[in-house]
Structure 1
């Protein structure tokens, strides 16, 4: 599932694939913002950690979880 994070005053998004469900990502982000946590920590599919300061957070876009792709289609 693709996660896109917009950072205030930065033109480029942070984009990565996550093995977590969309609801888990939403819950993590919501909890961090609600409690005033200094950072949001998310992990990508390869085990790398993405850390974003909550004060710099512009938006988080959570994609739908996809089934495995088969073939060479370009949809």
Structure 2
């Protein structure tokens, strides 16, 4: 699953591919906000992205659909 993280006062969002469930990611963010600490998430390759929790503007979850290859479906004769 891809998680896009919007950060306040940043022009671009962060994009992380992770195996974590959306509920787990939200719980981690909520915990970081209440503890006034850094929110961190680890991607599928073991790399960690960390953002001050109070600067997270939004999280956007997308399903991992893979890459589309080709020019579309060809109609049968």
Query: Any unmatched runs of 5+ in structure 2?
Result: 72-77
CA RMSD of aligned residues (A): 2.4
For residue 38 of structure 2, what is the aligned residue in structure 1? 39
5+ residue gaps, structure 1, are none
Tell me which residue corresponds to 2:75. Answer: none
Deviation at 1:71, TM superposition (A): 6.9
TM-score by length of 2: 0.75
Q: TM-score, normalised by structure 1?
A: 0.76
Equivalent residue pairs, number: 72
Stretches (4+) displaced over 2 A: 69-74
